Amino acid sequence: MMRRLYALLIRLHPAQFRARYGDEMLWIFDQTRDMHGRRWLISDAVVSAMRQHVMRADAVEEPAVPQSADGIPMFISVDRPLPAAQILMRGAGLATLACACLLMVMKYDVQRRVPNFSFSTDSMWPKAPSMSFAGWMRVPAERNAQPVPAPAKVLRETETKLTPTVLLQRAREAVKLLFRTEPVPKPSEYAAAGQTMRFVSSDSLVKSRDPWDNLTDSLMDQFAKHDVVALGEWHGNEEDAEIRRRLILHGAFAKKVRYVVFECANSLHQATLDRFVSGAEVSSADLQRVWRDVTSPGACDASMYRDFLNEVRALNSYQTPSNKVRVLAADPPINWNYVKSREDWLKYSSHRDLFVADLVSREVLSRHERALVVVGAGHLWQRNIFMKEPNVAELLKRNDPERFYSVIRISGPEEERGRLNAAAVVVRRPVLLPMRQNGVGALPAGEWIGRGILVKLFDDSVRLRDVVDACILTGSAQELPLKPADNDPLYKTEKDRRMELIRPRK
Amino acid sequence: MKENLEKHLPMAPATLHILLALAGEDMHGYGIMQEVSRQSEGRYQLGPGTLYDNLQKLMANGMVDETDGPAGADPRRKYYRLAAFGRKVLSAEVTRLEGVVQQARLHLTMKPRRS
């Protein structure tokens, strides 16, 4: 076998060299293969062939001009019927290089700009999560029953046969996009949710590297060590929204992370959510229910949550089926049509942490997949003395603490941020600060978490490192203004009704 | 001629070892490989590809000639001989290396300067 390979390598040498030394080389191979090792001889032949073609291309000897019997030189033709082998090899190399460059450019451009490349199949999604959690098993099944299309049937709507016409059209689109110069609109500039949405990804990745890339790189690195990375947010905070937006747009996100566990989505509408993020058309009314019907009325009204789902949809539009990201609705499946009292509501709201933890365990950890969890920061604060029940972080860290990594953003009032910066000892921001390795971890948790909350959250002895695994330091003000909420008058009426229902009775 | 000699200096290790191997007697390719290994006490190994690639170059430069083997030699083997020009180039390389060795010894035996 190795002898045949060696003979093949000899054949790769220029014909003149091969004719002159080929037999000798093969003979030496036979003589020395047990002495030197066959791999060494093979690699020597490879190097020799390359050297002959690259460095000795000019050493081709032209045949001597024969002379006639009377001493007069004769003429011969030195033209070859085919180009020399080394010329062909150089040409092949250059052509390969050019094609590789072109494909790289096309891939780069298509991955970031082309929204309509869909490779959906029936097996794109795993089965939707079953609602087996005990907390709402007490609720009659028919209350939650809602006709939803089977995922496989829905996904067929996005299938596209790769006919020659479609391929030609896609090639035209790719070429057109390669040479387009106008800026790509941001998802936030698109029409309101529910309209027929044709999204493109943000243009942030097309630009050159900026300081946020360091943060997203650090967050992505955590997925190499942990299966679940949880980002705690202040509901409605723009900076938190920007962090998760940039994270999912990281080039490696879709390759590494299969699920986004999203608190601002009612799990009753999981099928709608699946349809939307997979690229199918979803009506405005159906889609809005995903974030309007959460157990905390109005908590997810800010447009950033809709924008985030748009981003995931845009991300999926250019992913292969195996790389598509699924958003798992992490809010309990409350059906507000059947909530008539505070007690009805408490059946769902009092077990939100357990629901999220159960969902992550069932759909992510048991499948050995990775997930980004986006929940309110309070669900991640460990050693929180105000909360009576264990939260998401505490539940998930019970069994296998290494698989779960909690991250929150910290900031502070202008006059106190100097202390934070001094403890962090970092220059570039935003930055991810692992609490066990940074001075910020030794700061009292109560001074930096939940300042606006009137109740005492942590004992004085509790440090930031006891509460979360890492903090994001952006260096900005403590709280940025909230985005305007949903001002739909009909929804406002319904929201008021819900708020009235859940208000504690005196 | 001096210019022609210097054009080939300093020599690549493979070239130097091949010329040194052929300095003693005419040899075929496998013999050269064995002689190089012997001279370097096994520290330098030539592969067949490297050997013939260098032999081709040395013959093109007129430093090595192809020759008939000694009486009774296998007629299928090609033998190689160090040409007169090759011997001159080898001598020039050895002289150059002597100078290098001399300088190296001089500097290595000197006491290091104080910083």
Please give the full DSSP string across A415-426, using - where no structure is assigned: GGHHHHHHHHT-
**pTM reported for the whole predicted model:** 0.52
**DSSP strand pairing (B27-28 vs B79-82):** antiparallel
pLDDT of residue A181 exceeding 80: no
Residue A327 amino acid letter: V
Kindly state the tokens that stand for A101.
């460059």
Average pLDDT over residues A383-409: 89
A42 Cα to chain B: minimum distance (Å):
9
* B38 contact A CB<8A: no
Determine the distance in angstroms separating the CA of B55 from the nearest CA of chain A, rounded to an integer. 10
Average pLDDT estimate for A267-278? 94
Please indicate if any CB of chain B lies within 8 Å of the CB of A23: yes
- For residue A47, give how far its alpha carbon lies from the nearest alpha carbon of chain B (Å): 8
pLDDT of residue A153: 37
Best of A43, A44, A51, A62 to substitute, by most chain B Cβ atoms within 10 angstroms, is A44
Nearest to A40 among B30, B47, B55 (CB): B47
The average pLDDT across A280-309 equals: 91
Question: Mean pLDDT of all residues in chain A?
Answer: 77
Per-residue pLDDT reduced to its tens digit, B66-114: 888 777 777 778 889 999 999 999 999 999 999 999 888 888 876 555 5
Interface contact flag, B53 A45, Cβ < 8 Å = no
Higher pLDDT among residues A6 and A55, named by residue? A6
Element (H, E) at A473: strand A470-473
C-alpha distance from B87 to closest chain A C-alpha (Å): 22
Residues A35-84 pLDDT 10s: 767 788 888 888 888 888 877 766 555 555 555 566 666 665 555 556 66
At B72 the pLDDT is: 76
CA A442 to chain centroid: 32
pLDDT of residue A206: 44
pLDDT at A228: 95
Q: Judge whether A66 and A75 are in contact, CB under 8 Å.
A: no
In angstroms, what separates the C-alpha of A44 from chain B's closest C-alpha? 6
CB contact (8 A) between residue B33 and residue A32: yes
- Main-chain dihedrals φ then ψ at residue A36, nearest 5 degrees: -100, -20
Pick from B52, B57, B60: which is nearest to A24 by CB? B52
Sheet containing strand A470-473, edge to edge, reads: A326-331, A259-266, A371-376, A228-233, A404-410, A470-473, A431-434
Question: Residue A312 above 90 pLDDT?
Answer: yes
Are B53 and A44 inside 8 Å of each other by CB?
A: no
Contact check, Cβ <8 Å, B52/A29: no
B50 contacts A47? CB cut-off 8 A? yes
Residue A382's closest CA among A450, A456, A462?
Answer: A462
pLDDT of residue A280 exceeding 80: yes
A469 pLDDT tier (thresholds 50, 70, 90):
very high
Tell whether the model's pLDDT for residue A355 goes beyond 90.
yes
Q: How many CB atoms lie within 10 A of CB A125?
A: 18
Report whether A377 contacts A239 (CB < 8 A): no
Could you tell me if A333 and A266 are in contact, meaning their C-beta atoms sit under 8 angstroms apart?
Answer: yes
- Which residue type is seen at A456? K
Percentage of residues in chain B having pLDDT higher than 70: 92
pLDDT of residue B111: 58
Least confidently predicted of A132-136, A447-451, A500-504, B101-105: A132-136
Top pLDDT among A237 and B113 is at A237
SS3 A18: helix
Percent of chain B scoring above 90 in pLDDT: 25
pLDDT(A199) > 60: no
B77 and A CB contact within 8 Å: yes
Rounded Cα gap, residues A322 and A119, in angstroms: 10
* Residues contacting A87, CB < 8 A, separation 6+: A57
Can you tell me the distance from the alpha carbon of A499 to that of A298, in angstroms, rounded to the nearest whole number?
Answer: 9
Task: Out of A20, A31, A44, name the one closest to residue B47 (CB).
Answer: A44
Q: Which of A17, A20, A48 sits opposite B50 (nearest CB)?
A: A48
Residues A23, B77: C-beta atoms closer than 8 Å: no
Lookup: tokens for A472: 């994001």
The residue among A378, A346, A356, A260 whose CA lies nearest residue A308 is A260
Instruction: Kindly list the residues from chain B whose CB atom is less than 8 angstroms away from the CB atom of residue A20.
Output: 52, 56
ipTM above 0.95?
Answer: no
A50 Cβ neighbours under 8 A, 6+ residues apart? none
Q: In Å, how far from its chain's centre is CA A338?
A: 37
Check CB contact of B36 with chain A, cutoff 8 Å.
no
CA distance B111 to chain A (A): 43
pLDDT at B37 over 90: no
Report the range of poorest mean pLDDT among A160-164, A327-331, A379-383, B10-14: A160-164
- Say if A438 is an interface residue toward chain B (CB within 8 Å): no
Alpha helix (H) residue ranges in B8-112:
13-24, 29-39, 48-60, 84-109
Q: Rounded mean pLDDT of A281-292?
A: 92
Q: Report the chain B residue with the minimal C-alpha distance to residue A51.
A: B53
Enumerate the residues of chain A whose CB falls inside 8 A of the CB of residue B57: 56, 59
* Tokens describing residue A395: 């539940």
Q: Look at residue A209 in the predicted model and tell me its pLDDT.
A: 59
- Closest residue, chain B, to A41 (C-alpha): B47
Categorize the per-residue pLDDT at A186 as very low, low, confident or very high, splitting at 50, 70 and 90. very low
Name the pLDDT band for A193 (thresholds 50, 70, 90).
very low
pLDDT surpasses 50 at A142: no
In this prediction, residues A14-40 reach a mean pLDDT of: 81
> What residues contact residue A458 under an 8 Å CB cut-off, 6+ apart?
A381, A383, A384, A385, A444, A445, A446, A449, A467
Q: pLDDT band for position A438 (50/70/90)?
A: confident
CB contact at 8 A, A178 and A111: no
Write down the pLDDT at residue A202.
Answer: 43
The region of weakest confidence among A29-43, A122-136, B38-52, B99-113 is A122-136
Q: Is the pLDDT of residue A239 over 90?
A: no
**Chain pair A-B, CB pairs under 8 angstroms:** 68
pLDDT at B71: 76
Please say whether the beta carbons of A133 and A354 come within 8 A.
yes
Give the closest residue to A120 by CA, choosing from A275, A258, A309.
Answer: A275
Give me the pLDDT at residue A187, please.
Answer: 45
Interface probe with A: pick from B53, B77, B79, most Cβ of A within 10 Å: B53
